[in-house]
Amino acid sequence: MAEVLVVTSGKGGVGKTTSTAALGAALAQTGQSVVVIDFDVGLRNLDLVMGAERRVVYDLINVVQGDANLNQALIKDKRVESLSLLPASQTRDKDALTAEGVERVINELKGKFDWIICDSPAGIERGAYFAMRHADLAVIVTNPEVSSVRDSDRIIGLLDSKTEKAERGETMEKLLLLTRYDPVRAERGDMLKVDDVLEILSIPLLGIIPESPEVLKASNLGSPVTLANPISAPSRAYLDAARRLRGETIEMTVPSEKKRFFGNLFGRRAA
Amino acid sequence: MSVLKFFTRRSSAPAARERLQLLLAHERAVFGRTDLVAQLKDEILAVIAKHIAIDPEKVRIKTDTRDTLATLEVDIEIRTPNGGLKLAG
């Protein structure tokens, strides 16, 4: 049975698209078949982060409106065979999404994939609403910072009221993905700690992604960080999170970069 | 940075945490995510307001959780012109 997962946050710039790409790739790396869908119509970026920007022919809007079929619009990843991307439209606006169209696309994808990961746009408008609408579970991407935590709280409220699952009277499973975490600054008292955010939002923790230059390097290259550098600290955190999504119990840690003096000295390359 | 300033430096994260807890207790009540703290605040204030004139702006609610102990701290500033408690009614 396919799982529909929404990656959401309310606030922009906290790492939704990065996390969608990384979690999608990580799940695919474990052998699951995965499709990542960009719901940010008009401001698509998942294609760029995944390195597929030059391969987009048809998009979500074309499929929603019946101008193309799913197989024409899906872009298969060149690195991991079981990973596909359904890009958003760059030219249309978000009003082109319709409730019936999105539902039909999600239902069709359920027959093809183990995981359907919906990358929500920022904000709480139409695109964000459609991204969360059919979800079975939600990953709330949050930075340890006041405005991000506040917006996540607002999104949690919407997940509990505006989704199909909520309307059926069921509880939406919501998991916290804390990104850009800096354990040193948190320990110094200048950044909210993991426990602070958990206590305030009171949802279970999926993973802690440490702040790392590897994330930017990977997006420069157009690769999910888990594929660009699987042994880097953020990649290990995402790979652990993906295994937790699959039901495995893995001890929660904040991975840190391994000190590789000679590796860094001689092996450094511009990304 | 002076040596004194170095030793008396206050961390900012506790302030963030406190501000968020207060704000979200209020926002959850407004946006429908029921919250015990907001409800308690309203009910406690209603009871006190029956007897003492209070300014809702001068009320601070703080919650804290440590291991198995949760505390609710309610700080109400009561201002009276002549310094004493003035009971209503």
Whether B39 has a pLDDT exceeding 60, the answer reads yes
pLDDT in tens, A64-93: 999 999 999 999 999 999 999 999 998 877
Nearest-Cα distance to chain A for B78, in Å, is 29
Distance CA A271, CA A193 (A): 31
Of A156, A196, A199, the CB nearest to B13: A196
> A146, B20: Cβ pair inside 8 Å?
yes
Look up residue B23 and give its two tokens: 């704000």
**Weakest-pLDDT range from A193-197, A231-235, A241-245, B54-58:** B54-58
> A189, B23: Cβ pair inside 8 Å?
no
pLDDT score recorded for residue A15: 96
Q: Interface pTM (ipTM) of the complex?
A: 0.79
- The per-residue b/e assignment along B3-42, b for 16 or more CB within 10 angstroms, e otherwise, is eeeeeeeeeebeebbeebbbebbebbbeeebeeebbeebe
Residue A40 makes CB contacts below 8 A (sequence gap 6+) with A17, A46, A88, A119, A120, A121, A127
How many CA within 13 A on the CB side of residue A8? 32
pLDDT in tens, A198-218: 999 999 999 999 999 999 999
Nearest-Cα distance to chain A for B75, in Å, is 20
Contact (CB, 8 A) for A138 and A166? no
Task: Write the CA distances from B76 to A167, B35, B48, B54, integer angstroms.
Answer: 40, 20, 10, 8
Residue A233, number of CB atoms within 10 A of its CB? 20
Summarize the confidence of residues B1-23 as an average pLDDT: 78
Burial (CB count <10 Å: 0-12, 13-18, 19+), residue A242: buried
Confidence of residue A183 (pLDDT cuts 50, 70, 90): very high
Look up residue A230 and give its two tokens: 């699987």
Instruction: Report the residue of A140, A151, A190, A201 to disrupt the B interface, i.e. the one with the largest count of B CBs within 10 Å.
Output: A190
Contact (CB, 8 A) for A241 and A115? no
How open is the CA angle A165-A167-A168, to the nearest 5 degrees? Answer: 65
From chain B, the residues in CB contact with A196 under 8 A are 13, 16-17
pTM: 0.80
> B13, A154: Cβ pair inside 8 Å?
no
At residue A128, what is the residue type? A
Of A150, A160, A190, the CB nearest to B12: A190
Q: Closest Cα partner for A197 from A142, A151, A241?
A: A142
User: In the beta sheet, which residues pair with residue B70?
Assistant: B65
pLDDT score recorded for residue B3: 61
The more confident residue out of B8 and B23 is B23
pLDDT in tens, B41-87: 778 888 888 888 887 777 777 766 666 666 777 888 877 666 555 55
Whether A133 has a pLDDT exceeding 50, the answer reads yes
Q: What is the number of helices (H) and of strands (E) in chain B?
A: 3, 2
